[in-house]
C-alpha cells in the first residue's frame, strides 16, 4: 500500500508570515460572544498574529458544560476576517460542521483529538472536504497511537486534501504528571522524520493545561524543530467559559513568543556543516559496532538457551537478571549515563534474549 503523503508545503498556503518563525495560530479556546471574539482578535492582530482560532462546537466531557455557540460563531469569525484581514480557523467534528465552515468562508479547519481517534468521523470529514482547498490540521488522537494519527492523514490526503499539517497536543494518561496531557514528544519527531514536508505544530495550551507551562513547552517544541504553535489566547481568561486556566491574554502571548529561542533548521556555515558531518560519521560507525556487539551477545544468549533446554532449566533466572541490571546501572553511573537510560537499554536487550531463548525451548 502506498503510504506516502502528497503535501503542499505550508509556505505555499499563503497563511503565515514566515519571516518571523514560529508560525503561530492563536485565539480563544471557544468563541463566546461577538465582543470577546473581536477584542481577542484585535489584541492578537496588533502584534502581527495572522491566523486566528476559536472553537465553535466544543467536545466536552460532561453534558451541560459549555458546548460552544454553534453556527452564529462563524459569523463572528467572518467578521474577524473582514475587519483584521486574518485567516480564521475552527474545529470540525462532522460533515455538517465542514459544510457550515465552507458556507461562512472559514479558511482552515482542525480535527480535534477525540475525532482523530474515530476513523468513521475522519472519513466523513475527508469526504465533505473533497472539492475544497481548505487546509486541515490534524491533532494527535487522545491515545498514543501513531498509526491512528497517520491513518487520519491518509484518509484526508486520499480525498485530495494536500494542505495538511499536524498539531501535537499530548496524550491522555493515567500516570501522575504535571501536565494535562503527556507530551510524548517522540511521536511528533517520528512524524517529522517520516514526512519531512508535513508542517508540525505544538499545542502547549492543551498539553500543559496551565498558563505556567505554555512557555517551557513552546520552547521545547522550538528546540525539537517544530514549525509552529497553536496557543489559546483570550481577552479575559478568568471569565473564559472553557479552559480558563490555560489561556493567555494577547499581551502575555506576545511576551511569551518574544522569549522563545527559535532554532534554525540548517545553515550554510561550512565549518558547522563539516564538523556535524564528521561527528555524524563517527556516530554511524559506533551504531554499526553496537549492532555487531548486539548480534554477538544474541548468539551467546541462544547458545545458553540450547544448554538450558538440554538440562531442562527455566529461561528466566531473576537473580541473574537483577545482578546484571544493577551492575550495569552502577557502571553507567560512572560514565554519566542515567539509571533510566541504562535500565531502558538493558531491559530491551534482556527481553529480546528471553524471546530468543523461548523460541529455542519451543522449537
Q: Does 97 bind ligand PEP (CB under 6 A)?
A: no
168 binds ligand PEP (CB under 6 A): no
- Torsions phi, psi for 46 (to 5 deg): -60, -30
Whether the upstream peptide bond of residue 22 has omega within 30° of 0, thus cis, is yes
| Nearest-angstrom CA–CA distance, 164 and 6 | 9
When the beta carbons of 3 and 62 are compared against ligand PEP, the nearer one is 62
Site string for Mn ion, 258-297 (x = CB under 5 A): ----------------------------------------
Least distance in angstroms from the C-beta of 216 to ligand PEP: 19
Contact residue for ligand PEP among 26, 37, 86, 113 (CB under 6 A): 113
Residue 156 contact, options Mn ion, ligand PEP, none, Cβ 5-8 Å cut-off depending on partner type: none
Closer residue to ligand PEP (CB): 90 or 357: 90
Smallest gap from Cβ 125 to ligand PEP, in A, equals 14
Partner from Mn ion, ligand PEP, none binding residue 113, C-beta < 5-8 Å depending on class? ligand PEP
Residues 13-32 that bind ligand PEP (CB under 6 A): 29
Among the listed residues 206, 211, 234, 254, the single contact to ligand PEP using CB under 6 A: 206
Which residue's Cβ has the minimum distance to ligand PEP?
112
Query: Residue 50: which of Mn ion, ligand PEP, none does it interact with, CB under 5 to 8 A by kind?
Result: none
**Is residue 243 within the footprint of Mn ion (CB under 5 A)?**
yes
Task: Convert 14-35 into a string of H (helix), E (strand) and C (coil).
Answer: CCCCCCCCCEEEEECCECCCHH
CA distance 145 to 156: 18
Choice between 178 and 277, CB closer to ligand PEP:
178
Which residue's CB is nearer to ligand PEP, number 81 or number 206?
206
Cell of 296: 554477538
CB of 96 to ligand PEP, least distance (A): 18
Residues 6+ apart with CB under 8 A from 306: 360
Query: If binding means CB under 6 A, how many residues of this protein chain bind ligand PEP?
Result: 10
With cell 532449566, the residue in question is: 313
The answer to whether residues 253 and 231 touch, using CB atoms and an 8 Å cutoff, is yes
Looking at 110-210, list the stretches that DSSP marks H as alpha helix, in order from N- to C-terminal side. Answer: 113-116, 119-129, 146-158, 185-194, 204-208
CA distance 124 to 151: 14
Nearer to ligand PEP, 188 or 342 (CB): 188
Using a CB cutoff of 8 Å and minimum separation of 24, what contacts does 209-216 make?
209/179, 209/180, 209/181, 209/245, 209/246, 210/180, 210/245, 210/246, 211/237, 211/245, 211/246, 211/247, 211/248, 211/252, 213/178, 213/179, 214/246, 214/248, 214/256, 215/256, 215/259, 215/260
39 contacts 49 by C-beta, under 8 angstroms? no
Least distance from ligand PEP to the Cβ atom of residue 113, Å: 4
Q: Which does 169 bind (CB under 5 to 8 A by kind): Mn ion, ligand PEP, none?
A: ligand PEP
End-to-end CA distance of the chain: 34
Decide: is 139 part of the binding site for ligand PEP (CB under 6 A): yes
Q: Does 253 bind ligand PEP (CB under 6 A)?
A: no
Residues forming contacts to ligand PEP in the complex (CB under 6 A) are 29, 55, 59, 91, 112-113, 139, 169, 203, 206
Amino acid at each position: 500500500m502506498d503510504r506516502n503523503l502528497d503535501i503542499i508545503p505550508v509556505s505555499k498556503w499563503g497563511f503565515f508570515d514566515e519571516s518571523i518563525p514560529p508560525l503561530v495560530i492563536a485565539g480563544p479556546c471557544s468563541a463566546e460572544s461577538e465582543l470577546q471574539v473581536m477584542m481577542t482578535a484585535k489584541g492578537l492582530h496588533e502584534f502581527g498574529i495572522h491566523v486566528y482560532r476559536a472553537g465553535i462546537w466544543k467536545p466536552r466531557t460532561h453534558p451541560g458544560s459549555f458546548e460552544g455557540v454553534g453556527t452564529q460563531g462563524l459569523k463572528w469569525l467572518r467578521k474577524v476576517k473582514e475587519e483584521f484581514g486574518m485567516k480564521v480557523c475552527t474545529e470540525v467534528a462532522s460533515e455538517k460542521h465542514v459544510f457550515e465552515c465552507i458556507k461562512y468562508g472559514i479558511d482552515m479547519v482542525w480535527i480535534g483529538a477525540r475525532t482523530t481517534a474515530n476513523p468513521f468521523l475522519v472519513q466523513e470529514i475527508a469526504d465533505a472536504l473533497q472539492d475544497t482547498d481548505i487546509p486541515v490540521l490534524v491533532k494527535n488522537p487522545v491515545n498514543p497511537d501513531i498509526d491512528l494519527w497517520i491513518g487520519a492523514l491518509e484518509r484526508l490526503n486520499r480525498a485530495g486534501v494536500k494542505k495538511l499539517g499536524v498539531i501535537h497536543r499530548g496524550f491522555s494518561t493515567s500516570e501522575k504528571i504535571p501536565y494535562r496531557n503527556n507530551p510524548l514528544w517522540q511521536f511528533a519527531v517520528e512524524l517529522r522524520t517520516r514526512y519531512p514536508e508535513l508542517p508540525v505544530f505544538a499545542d502547549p495550551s492543551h498539553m500543559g493545561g496551565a498558563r505556567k507551562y505554555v512557555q517551557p513547552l513552546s520552547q521545547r517544541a522550538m528546540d525539537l524543530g517544530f514549525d509552529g504553535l497553536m496557543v489559546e489566547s483570550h481577552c479575559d481568561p478568568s471569565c473564559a467559559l472553557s479552559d480558563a486556566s490555560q489561556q493567555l491574554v494577547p499581551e502575555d502571548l506576545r511576551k511569551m513568543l518574544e522569549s522563545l529561542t527559535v532554532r534554525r533548521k540548517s545553515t550554510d556555515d561550512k565549518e558547522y556543516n563539516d564538523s556535524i558531518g564528521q561527528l555524524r560519521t563517527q556516530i554511524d560507525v559506533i551504531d554499526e559496532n553496537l549492532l555487531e556487539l548486539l548480534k554477538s551477545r544474541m548468539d551467546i544468549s541462544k547458545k545458553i538457551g540450547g544448554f538450558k533446554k538440554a538440562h531442562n532449566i527455566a529461561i528466566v533466572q531473576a537473580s541473574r537478571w537483577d545482578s546484571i541490571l544493577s551492575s550495569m546501572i552502577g557502571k553507567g553511573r560512572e560514565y554519566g549515563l542515567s539509571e533510566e537510560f541504562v535500565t531502558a537499554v538493558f531491559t530491551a536487550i534482556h527481553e529480546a534474549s528471553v524471546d530468543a531463548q523461548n523460541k529455542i525451548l519451543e522449537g
